């Protein structure tokens, strides 16, 4: 009988110890090395959309990140609103994979003043994490209106107008990582930034910001390799997807873009920088009412190269510049003087492309006289006017090519490209 009581007492003490750990800021899971779930509510998140929950998120992340073995999960539960100040989730973590499951709604502070004394370029960020998997059915709401209202782009005469605003979510030095199924809305500036990452996938995300919101790129890739963006819908006030310097091996597949500025390589070479962009493949994309479609844009003062690019299986609906290369970009648009510098653009393929242009020039390859575009291939392209008149079908729009060399087959409008 005495032995039974002792056993019961010991079990009770163990249970009380476990409960004490669970209710403390140091989770039981992290103490015993079990890679389990780390719910932000257990770390004191108020989830009322008013109280700052940043510290609760950081505490949950730090416990999950330090958990050994398995695949720990940070859980943001559904049907709740979490207000977060600027916060960075840092690695490296102990486990091979770590999940960040967003089922609720994350909202940014509505006032730009919250960023006083902090890095105005970012709201949420993951840094130096390998095997990160961000997933869920939740929302990331940048509440960008306050920033847009003081943007220098639309209010250049406003004292203290803003040129730099927060990116909603940054991934920096994140390898073999991914984000999927998240809804992004109204970022102050760029929605997703992938920077200095090796092996990153974006799948089935939806991004929505007004077409007149300033500099709200959907996804920007910078200095990264082996990136895939698939099965996503992007509406924004700037590029749906943009590709920056030192980026290679990018696959973009099954994208809906519009409104926005299209899918762009560049701008590259600003300030005389050396650009290195190669092995870019864009396929099965639909553009609706965008400023550009498939675009490559480089600064006249730039150096380096863009090479081995494929744009294929694209559909345009009333796009201003369906196919465009601008190798003569400069500070004063329309007043660019010829320069001996330039970013070399070569081995670019456009194939199986059709749709309508809302301007007269459907194909515009404005290449440099000093560093011309070479090995350009165009085949199976059919572009017509979005507002057809009485002209012969297919002849209502034109093609303009300058210093562009290569070959073309079955092109309308055309011919355009110069042979060697």
* 26 pLDDT higher than 90: no
CA–CA distances in Å: residue 310 to residues 198, 365, 411? 21, 15, 16
Min mean pLDDT across 22-36, 121-135, 345-359 is at: 22-36
The predicted pLDDT at position 333 comes to: 67
pLDDT in tens, 185-202: 999 999 999 999 999 999
Pick the catalytic residue from 155, 191, 220, 261: 261
Could you tell me the two tokens for 375? 């090995």
Looking at the DSSP assignment, which residues form a beta bridge with residue 119?
Answer: none
* 9 pLDDT higher than 50: no
Average pLDDT over residues 401-418: 95
Element (H, E) at 17: helix 2-23
User: Please, what are the domains in the chain?
Assistant: 74-153+164-412 (2.160.20.10)
Residues in the chain, overall count? 420
For residues 299 and 3, the model is more confident at 299
Task: Specify whether the CB–CB gap between 261 and 292 falls below 8 A.
Answer: yes
Average of per-residue pLDDT values in the chain: 90
Element (H, E) at 296: strand 292-299
pLDDT > 90: percent of the chain: 83
The predicted pLDDT at position 338 comes to: 79
**Cβ neighbour number for residue 151 with a 10 Å cutoff:** 20
Tell me the C-alpha distance between 67 and 100, whole Å.
14
Looking at the DSSP assignment, which residues form a beta bridge with residue 384?
Answer: 356
pLDDT in tens, 370-402: 999 999 999 999 999 998 764 455 458 999 999
Task: Specify whether the CB–CB gap between 193 and 168 falls below 8 A.
Answer: no
Residue 30 — pLDDT band, cuts 50, 70, 90? very low
Tell me the C-alpha distance between 401 and 416, whole Å.
5
CA 82 to chain centre: 22
* 13 pLDDT higher than 90: no
- Tell me if residue 155 is catalytic: no
* 337 pLDDT higher than 80: no
Residue 69 — pLDDT band, cuts 50, 70, 90? confident
Tell me the C-alpha distance between 47 and 377, whole Å.
54
Provide the whole-model pTM: 0.90
The predicted pLDDT at position 19 comes to: 34
Which among 178, 247, 241, 173 has a CA at the least distance from the CA of 207? 241
* 24 pLDDT higher than 50: no
For residues 9 and 347, the model is more confident at 347
Q: Using CB atoms within 10 Å of the CB of residue 223, give its burial: 0 to 12 exposed, 13 to 18 middle, 19+ buried.
A: middle
pLDDT > 70: percent of the chain: 90
Residue 340 — pLDDT band, cuts 50, 70, 90? confident
Determine if the peptide bond prior to 116 is cis (ω within 30°). no
* 23 pLDDT higher than 50: no
* 148 pLDDT higher than 70: yes
* 315 pLDDT higher than 70: yes
C-alpha angle 235-241-247 in degrees, rounded to nearest 5: 170
Min mean pLDDT across 30-44, 62-76, 210-224, 356-370 is at: 30-44
Tell me the C-alpha distance between 255 and 281, whole Å.
12
C-alpha angle 106-109-111 in degrees, rounded to nearest 5: 155
Q: Where are the beta strands (DSSP E) in 35-97?
A: 37-39, 48-52, 73-76, 81-83, 87-90
pLDDT in tens, 108-129: 999 999 999 999 999 999 999 9
């Amino acid at each position: 009988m005495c032995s039974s009581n002792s056993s019961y007492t010991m079990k009770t003490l163990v249970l009380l110890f476990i409960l004490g750990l669970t209710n403390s800021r140091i989770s039981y899971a992290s103490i015993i090395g079990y890679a389990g779930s780390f719910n932000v509510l257990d770390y004191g998140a108020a989830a009322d959309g008013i109280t700052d929950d940043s510290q609760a998120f950081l505490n949950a992340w730090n416990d999950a990140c330090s958990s050994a073995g398995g695949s720990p999960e940070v859980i943001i539960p559904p049907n709740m609103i979490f207000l977060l100040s600027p916060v960075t989730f840092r690695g490296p973590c102990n486990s091979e994979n770590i999940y960040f499951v967003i089922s609720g709604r994350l909202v940014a502070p509505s006032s730009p003043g919250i960023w006083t004394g902090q890095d105005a370029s970012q709201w949420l960020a993951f840094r130096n994490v390998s095997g990160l998997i961000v997933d869920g059915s939740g929302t990331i709401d940048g509440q960008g209106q306050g920033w847009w209202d003081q943007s220098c782009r639309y209010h250049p005469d406003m004292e203290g107008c803003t040129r730099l605003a927060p990116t909603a979510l940054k991934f920096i030095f994140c390898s073999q990582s991914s984000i999927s199924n998240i809804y992004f809305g109204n970022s102050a500036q760029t929605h997703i930034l992938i920077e200095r990452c090796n092996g990153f996938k974006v799948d089935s995300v939806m991004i929505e910001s007004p077409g007149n919101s300033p500099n709200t790129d959907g996804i920007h890739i910078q200095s990264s390799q082996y990136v895939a963006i698939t099965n996503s819908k992007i509406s924004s006030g700037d590029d749906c997807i943009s590709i920056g310097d030192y980026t290679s091996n990018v696959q973009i597949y099954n994208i809906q873009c519009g409104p926005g500025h299209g899918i762009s390589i560049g701008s590259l070479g600003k300030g005389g920088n050396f650009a290195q962009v190669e092995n870019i493949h864009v396929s099965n994309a639909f553009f609706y009412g965008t400023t550009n479609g498939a675009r490559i844009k480089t600064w006249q003062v730039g150096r380096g190269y863009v090479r081995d690019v494929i744009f294929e299986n694209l559909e345009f609906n009333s796009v201003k510049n369906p196919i465009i290369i601008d190798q003569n970009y400069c500070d004063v648009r329309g007043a660019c003087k010829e320069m001996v510098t330039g970013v070399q653009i070569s081995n670019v393929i456009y194939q199986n492309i059709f749709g309508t242009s809302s301007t007269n020039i459907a194909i515009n390859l404005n290449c440099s006289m000093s560093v011309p575009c070479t090995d350009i291939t165009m085949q199976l392209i059919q572009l017509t006017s979005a507002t057809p008149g009485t002209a012969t079908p297919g002849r209502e729009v034109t093609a303009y090519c300058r210093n562009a060399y290569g070959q073309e087959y079955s092109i309308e409008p055309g011919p355009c490209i110069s042979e060697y």
